[in-house]
Amino acid sequence: MITVASLAPYLGGALALGGIAVVASRRRELMVRWCAWAAGVPLVTCAFWLGRPGAAAVAVAVGLIAVTEFGGLMRLGRADRVVLGAAVTGVVTAAWLAPGQVLRVVAIGALAVAAGPLLAGDADHGLRRLCAGLLGLAWLSVLAALVPLGASALALFVAVSIADIVAYFAGRGLGGPRLSPLSPAKRWSGTLTGSAAGLGALAVLSTLSWPMAVAVTVGGPVGDLLESMVKRGAQAKDAGRWLPGSGGLLDRIDSLLIALAVLLVLG
């Protein structure tokens, strides 16, 4: 069974190799991004080492930041963002303390999200607020899966991240047909090459199974396209500007979110 302790050496080795490659590239953008990874990966790994409480803390923190960024993209007001953040926090907390009540908490969260525009009688923007809130709840509540999955979720994040990085460089180098009009820079060549790299990472981490494989090869690219659709609708390049070299946090976890959803569906 995969554990955080067994993953730690691989994470450290990946960071070290990445650092060497970044220095060799002499690209400032990559150096800045690597520094962000070097600060974030040990912090998240230590949190997961604490078990379910640590994973829940990471999920809540990431969820609240993602809600803020998502709310900005969808032009949600402060009250709507607070309600959505509380709903996502409630789902994560239920996954930690009362796993059997998760669906009930999701339903309560959906009612709370709907209550804002309905009680305000917002005929002009109520439908947009309602749809955006429900999308945000369904999309970001998947972070609750970090709690029961634990080290497997961490391994999935590593594989999806490697797949994203390889897909980016392979797509630029190999070219070929575009993956989707939603993201003109992405190519089928990059996606397929990245998927192969993600599967290789799962094999190295001893977590390769058919649900994990589908999560990486299908869920990862779909998650990236979903966020691209949201950003295009909002006419925004990135979900945020605060994360060095990466835009926002949502830009970094978009692939992971749908990969987690696929893994949950496949059991």
Last residue of a domain, one of 148, 177, 199: 148
Q: Residue 245's pLDDT is what?
A: 64
pTM of the model: 0.91
Has residue 28 got a pLDDT over 80?
no
185-195 pLDDT, tens per residue? 888 999 999 99
- The answer as to whether 222 is a domain residue is yes
Q: How far apart are CA 154 and CA 4, in angstroms?
A: 8
Query: Residues for the chain: how many in total?
Result: 267
Q: Are residues 177 and 266 both part of a single domain?
A: yes
159-208 pLDDT, tens per residue? 998 898 889 888 888 888 888 888 888 889 999 999 999 999 999 988 99
Has residue 73 got a pLDDT over 80?
yes
235-263 pLDDT, tens per residue? 888 888 877 666 789 988 999 999 999 99
Q: Are residues 171 and 259 both part of a single domain?
A: yes
Has residue 33 got a pLDDT over 90?
no
- Counting the structural domains of the chain, the total is 2
* Burial of 135 per CB tally in 10 Å (0-12, 13-18, 19+): middle
Q: Are residues 132 and 142 both part of a single domain?
A: yes
The boundaries of the domain holding residue 196 are: 150-267
Q: How far apart are CA 65 and CA 88, in angstroms?
A: 11
